[in-house]
Amino acid sequence: MQTQTTEYFLKSALGQEADNIIRSCVHCGFCTATCPTYQLLGDERDGPRGRIYLIKQIIEGHSVSSKTQLHLDRCLSCRACETSCPSGVQYGRLVDIGRQLIEDKTTRPSHKPNNTPYT
């Protein structure tokens, strides 16, 4: 996958590592067949390929929304996707990096009265 990583992220070790992992993805989608959250929710952004696109947007300088946080938080980190990836994408590591980048760039939303942070 081609990326246009911002200079800010290319200067950081996490940004460089994320860029390298993202570039190894060939968009085949085999990972979605083994992802429990994608199977349950059916939303591309709740599967590995969709989350890779979301992390790509972060390192390209796009703003991080609460929905981006939600989609990354829904990953169970089971790494089942890695077993089906013909390119050997280190998805678990990429999600860890993505979560760290989000934490560095944003704050978590406060909890609503019903104790859920998202609407």
CATH architecture, range 7-105: Orthogonal Bundle (1.10)
DSSP 8-state secondary structure symbol assigned to residue 33: G
DSSP string, 80-93: HHHHH-TT---HHH
Tell me whether residue 112 is exposed, middle or buried, using C-beta atoms within 10 angstroms of its C-beta: 0 to 12, 13 to 18, 19 or more: exposed
pLDDT in tens, the chain (119 residues): 666 767 777 788 888 899 999 999 999 999 999 999 999 999 999 999 999 999 999 988 888 998 999 999 999 999 999 999 999 999 999 999 999 988 888 776 666 666 665 55
Domains of the chain: which residue ranges? 7-105
Residues in the chain: 119
The CA-based angle 13-19-20, given to 5 degrees, is: 90
